[in-house]
Chain A
Amino acid sequence: MTANTPFIEALRRIEVPGWLASERGAALDRFLATGMPSARLEDWKHTSLAALERRVWHSSTSVAGEAVCPDIASYPGHALVFQNGQLHCHGIYLANQIAGTLLDLANTQAVHQYLGQVADDTALANLNLALWQDGAHVYVPAGDHITLPIFTLFGAAEAEAMLYPRTLAVLEHGAEAILVEHFLGQTGQPYWQNAVTEIVLEDGAHLTHLKVIEEGAAATHTSLTAVRLGRDSEYRALHIGLDGALARHEIRVHMAGPGATTRIDAFDLADGHRHADLHLRINHRAPSGTSRVTYRGLAKGRGRAVFDGHVVVDRAAPKIDARQSCRGLLLSPQAEIDAMPRLEIYADDVKCGHGASIGNLDREALFYLQSRGIDLALARQLLMQGFANEALGLLDHTHLRNWLMPRLIAAMARRTLMEPTP
């Protein structure tokens, strides 16, 4: 058995319609030609998948194990719940055909047109294309405004399982929607979710996209979000990374149409031994676009947060306005934050800027809070929340603050073995 055997085995066992079979085979061949991303690649310098390669993975067999997301009613919107790669239960979706499983809807025009076309040709995206079993398809016809959020939950409850959640969201002209992807799983089980989300925004479409990574503490999460923006369309994203031993999320935004807007806010929490990596690549390919990035990374214990914010402005994209703000908060001497905002500009007449800073909790601020009767532990909590809050503005736009904040606060208050009480 070679390192590649599990992947080849996994593909052999998937039953798929014919037109997908050749796509999958080709994708697997591309993956096998490159192998797993190695630390020698510039893009993977800070995140090693070596631990992943030491395990023997198998593709999941059933919706086995305990349900990881039993309370579907706690999701304030439409909900599609996948467990171990397959549809487990669903909320109030489907009636209007706005969201369904990718497998059920595979033979629609939007899927034929876009599946695998938006995601970049990376090793892990190829692997997902070869091995996905099910996923979500969100399709919003021209002019439709879906006000309730559409939740897709990807839960895992099988040790040593490799899972390939796949999502395709297509918003036609002027359509609007809110998509919330929630990744979670059983604590203590080492599993690997390697997800790909493709998003197509036609001219004038608006999508708000939340991605919450709350994998089990022993899990690995790797994912790619690939977005293609048409003229005057808008993509607003909020990435929240709270749990999982290792999480690496790449967001690649292709600003293909003129006048498009991208806003990416992100908060990553790296505590215990957690490794949280967010890689952005925003490519301005057309004139007059706007992009805004706000990253807040918090590292404590022996955690490590990595942020790579890479903005590329093509020659064909004058008059764009691109800004990044990234800040890190380091709460322990063993924690580490690497923040790398980068600009690569080939056009004239552009407005660009970025700033990065890494700091500790402000002692003066702690004293100020304590002097009001707030104990040190709560004072630290408040300052951490305040720090994260700077990246959480989209929660108000989507009315999801009440849904998310308890999770975020619990994660920030979590104390791991590595962390002595202050």
Chain B
Amino acid sequence: MLEIKDLHVSVDDKAILKGIDLTVKPGEIHAIMGPNGSGKSTLAQVLAGREGYRVTQGSLRYLDSDLPPFSPEARARAGIFLAFQYPIEIPGVANAQFLRSALNSQRGYRGEPELDAFDFLEFVKGRLAMLEIDDSFLYRSLNEGFSGGEKKRNEILQMAVLEPRLAILDETDSGLDIDALKVVARGVNALRAPDRAIILVTHYQRLLEYIVPDRVHVLAEGRIVRSGDRDLALELEAKGYGWLNLRNNCEEPFIP
């Protein structure tokens, strides 16, 4: 589904990713861990097509196409979804209007009929109920004045509405209380399917108690320095990143 080979990415002419290799197959869940500043968000944003993130070397393939030429909206319509580490606040645009615009844009692209306001409401209320998110979310301005936890829940709601084939969750679990964490886990587990894949960028192994990954990778200084199964996450938690003998990796102590 996703095949990344020797990927180098620069932002403002600064090399951030320095040779990433990663293969994600349909049905798999991969966790990417690593210290702050190691390039996890850069990798996530590059997949979503953020401008200014330049691929300088290597390849990035998704469902048999090269990704770099495609616009962010084209990628989304092809099934890529990024849950932002820092979701953007957009005053004056109601969450419901935004969700419906997004869903109908994607449906239109797939040749499916657009949902009218009534059908959309019915559909989205089903998703809200599944995630146990309050209906009032729909009528608030997109992320405006949302708490950190509410913003993350809203990302999961968007994911549940758009039903992507490849979902990338960038630290969606950071700073969440246990209830919010369960919303994330419910969203991910509901999405799980043989033809879908999920990449969880996370700092903590806590989320991995609810969502069992097939593979765990450690990203440091723009490279994947270690890959393994879920035991790697447990080992990291027990020993900290220092155990990996990284240079210059201690910007932030590892707190499980």
Interface residues of A (CB under 8 A from B): 362-365, 367-376, 378-379, 382-383, 385-390
Contact = CB atoms under 8 A, between A and B. Distances in A.
Interface of B: 48-51, 71-73, 75-77, 81-82, 84, 87-88, 90-93, 97-98, 101-102, 105-106, 109, 141-142, 158, 162
Given A371-B82, A383-B93, A385-B92, A376 B73 contact: yes
Given A374-B101, A374-B102, A382-B93, A368 B84 contact: yes
Contacts of B158: 372
Contacts of B75: 371
Nearest to A388: B92
Contacts of B84: 368, 371
Given A374-B76, A387-B92, 9 more contacts: A365-B90, A369-B98, A373-B162, A374-B102, A375-B105, A382-B98, A385-B92, A386-B142, A390-B92
Contacts of B101: 369, 374, 378, 382
Contacts of A370: 49, 71-73, 76
B90 A386 contact: yes
Contact of A373 (B50, B73, B91): B73
B133 to A, nearest CB: 17
B31 to A, nearest CB: 21
A342 B50 CA distance: 41
A378 B105 contact: yes
Contact of B106 (A373, A382, A383, A386): A373
Contacts of A382: 90, 93, 97-98, 101
Contacts of B81: 371-372
A302 B73 CA distance: 29
Contacts of B141: 386
A383 B71 CA distance: 19
Q: Which 5 A-B pairs have the closest CB atoms?
A: A386-B92, A389-B92, A373-B76, A372-B102, A386-B93
Contacts of B109: 373
Given A372-B102, A373-B106, A367 B50 contact: yes
A385 B97 CA distance: 11
A382 B104 CA distance: 14
B87 A385 contact: no
B52 to A, nearest CB: 9
A390 B91 contact: yes
23 contacts: A365-B88, A365-B90, A367-B50, A369-B101, A370-B49, A370-B71, A371-B73, A371-B82, A372-B76, A372-B102, A372-B162, A373-B162, A374-B73, A374-B76, A378-B101, A378-B105, A379-B73, A382-B90, A382-B93, A383-B93, A387-B92, A390-B91, A390-B92
A386 B90 CA distance: 7
A374 B87 CA distance: 16
B155 to A, nearest CB: 10
Nearest to A363: B51
A368 B105 contact: no
A386 B77 CA distance: 23
Given A373-B162, A382-B98, A382-B101, A368 B90 contact: yes
Given A368-B84, A382-B97, A382-B98, A374 B90 contact: no
Contacts of A387: 91-92
Contacts of A364: 88
A374 B162 CA distance: 12
Contacts of A363: 51
A368 B88 contact: yes
Nearest to A392: B92
Contacts of B90: 365, 368-369, 382-383, 386
